[in-house]
Amino acid sequence: MVGLFDKQAEMYVDARPTSKRRWYSMLASRTPRHSLARDVGAGNGQAALCVAQNYDRVIATNASTVQLKCAMQHPKVHYVHTPIRISNVEIMTLIGGENSVDLITVAQAVHWFDLPNFYSLLTRLLQKPGGVVAVWCYNGIGVSSTFDPVMKRFHETTLPFWDPNIKHISDGYEKLPFPFESVGLGCEGEPLPLDIPKDLSCEGFPRVLRSWSAVTTAKE
C-alpha cells in the first residue's frame, strides 16, 4: 500500500482537495478539549494543517517516508513516521498513551487499514469521555453535464488497476465498518454527504488524475 503513493507524493499538495474550514470547526465543536489531535495517514499534511486551526498540537502520522518529506510545515504539527510493522505499544508511546487524544482524523486513508486492530487502538488513545474519531473520503468529481460522462468513462478504464481496498471509497464509506457512537456528523451505514469545492485550471486537473494510485499502476 505504501509504495502506491510514493511516486506522486509531490502532486498531493495542490492536486488533492481539502475539506473546508467549516468541516474542521464542526469536528472541533464536538470535543470538549482541544489539546491534542492525531491525523492518521497524513500524507503531505493537508488535513493536519486544517486540524491545527483548532487544536494546540497535532501529531500527523504516515507509513510513507516519501510523503512525509513533502509534508507542509506548521508550528503546531509534528510529523511522525509509523512504518507498517510498528506495534500498537510503540504507537501508544509515540502519541501520548491511553486517553490522551481529543480528536483523531483519517482523511482518504482508513480503507487501507486493518480496521479491527486500528479501531481497538483508537479506542485506547481517545480521551474519555468526549474523544472523537472522524473518517472521510471523496469518491467522485462533478463539474458539468458535458464533463461528467467523460470523467465517468475515464474512471471506468482505471478500475482494473485499483487496489481492492478502494471498494469502500466507491461506496462513499456506506459499507465501511465504523463501530462508534454518532456525534451528529454521520454514522456507520449513513455517512454524512458533503461537497468539497476546488478551483482547478485546465493544466491542474490532469495532476489530480496523475495523483491516483490506479493511474500510476496503469502507467507502469
Tell me the pLDDT tens digit for each residue of 54-70: 999 999 999 989 889 88
pLDDT of res. 195: 84
Q: Which residues contact 121 (CB under 8 A, 6 or more apart)?
A: 88, 91, 92
Place of cell 463501530: 179
Alpha-carbon distances of 200 from 143, 155, 158, 203, rounded to whole Å = 11, 18, 22, 8
Strands 132-136 and 103-107: parallel
Q: How far apart are CA 194 and CA 19, in angstroms?
A: 9
- Helices and strands counted in the chain (H then E): 10, 7
How does DSSP classify residue 172?
T
CATH of domain 2-139+165-194: 3.40.50.150
Q: What is the pLDDT of residues 73-128, one digit of tens each?
A: 999 999 999 998 999 999 999 998 999 999 999 998 999 899 999 999 999 999 99
Q: How far apart are CA 164 and CA 111, in angstroms?
A: 10
Q: Is the pLDDT of residue 10 over 80?
A: no
DSSP string, 64-122: -HHHHHTPPP-TTEEEEE--TT--HHHHHHHHTSTT-BSEEEEES-GGGS-HHHHHHHH
- Residue among 91, 217, 103 at smallest CA distance from 166: 217
Q: How far apart are CA 130 and CA 48, in angstroms?
A: 20
* pLDDT greater at residue 214 or residue 184: 184
Percent residues over pLDDT 90 in the chain: 60
pLDDT of res. 14: 58
Place of cell 487499514: 113
- Residue among 220, 106, 108, 126 at smallest CA distance from 172: 108
Residue type at position 157: T
